[in-house]
Amino acid sequence: MKIDVTKHLTMGAKRTLKAFRVAMFELLREKDFDKITVNDICQKGEYPRATFYNYFDDKLDLLKYLWSYIAKDILSQLPDDKQNDANLIKIFNLLVQFFHENTALLANIKQSNGADSHLWHNLAGYLKHEANRIVYQNCSIDSKPSIPAKLLSRFYSDLIIGMLEWCLFEEPNIQLKIADEYLLKLLHNDL
């Protein structure tokens, strides 16, 4: 990334980022990441190439930005009240819902999974990072001294993303209710 998206951005910069984000998101429904060219992105986003390179090093750079944005965006729907099991389930369900709503994207990601599975692992990394951040924020409130909070939140987010991966790739037709039950059992070591 050629700019720092955490700093204050002008309206124009936000607009431009959004346009490229949306363009990439739409293109990922339509074709393989490898088949997407910078020209495709610019055409879809209605920006010239020069502008693309003002913001991103290359299309992979944009992809990473998109993943991190999506991760934040999905989980921003969480109420930021105190931590409990219900919230972990909520995080899991938000993630499941996202892929349920974006089946074309998921299909594309799955397909690319054959080669080196870089699309999924890339995205999953950002999802896990964001989930971890949110779990940790809430975790630290009701800090249980028996386990370091960082370790605990990492355990939780790993569990959530693992569960997500299993649902999406191994049991795509599983009922969400059942999945929630499994997740709760794993959380409570109730096997």
Partner DNA sequence: AGATATTAGCTTATATTTAGACAATATTTA
Partner DNA sequence: TAAATATTGTCTAAATATAAGCTAATATCT
Residue number with CB closer to a second copy (11 or 191): 11
Min dist CB 11 to a second copy, Å, is: 6
Give CA–CA dist 170/163, Å, rounded: 10
Give CA–CA dist 90/93, Å, rounded: 5
Min dist CB 61 to DNA, Å, is: 8
Min dist CB 138 to a second copy, Å, is: 32
CB-based contacts of 170: which residues, under 8 Å, 6+ apart? none
36 by DSSP, 3-state: which? coil
Min dist CB 173 to a second copy, Å, is: 38
Q: At CA 132, angle to CA 126 and CA 134, rounded to 5? A: 105
The answer to whether the beta carbons of residues 95 and 127 sit under 8 Å apart is: yes
Task: Report which of 157, 4, 129, 3 is spatially closest to residue 67, judged by C-alpha positions.
Answer: 129
Partner interacting with residue 37 (select from a second copy, DNA, none; CB below 5-8 Å by kind): DNA
Two tokens at 100?
A: 């349920």
Partner interacting with residue 39 (select from DNA, a second copy, none; CB below 5-8 Å by kind): DNA
Residues 39 to 68: which contact a second copy by CB under 8 A?
Answer: 46-48
The answer to whether the beta carbons of residues 161 and 127 sit under 8 Å apart is: yes
- In angstroms, the first-to-last Cα distance of the chain is 45
Instruction: Report the residue from 14, 29, 121, 185 that binds a second copy according to the rule CB under 8 A.
Output: 14
Interface ranges with DNA (CB under 7 A): 9-13, 15-16, 37-39, 47-51, 53-55, 57-59
Min dist CB 70 to DNA, Å, is: 21
Instruction: Report the residue from 6, 11, 175, 189 that binds a second copy according to the rule CB under 8 A.
Output: 11
Task: Return residues touching a second copy (CB under 8 A).
Answer: 11, 14-15, 46-48
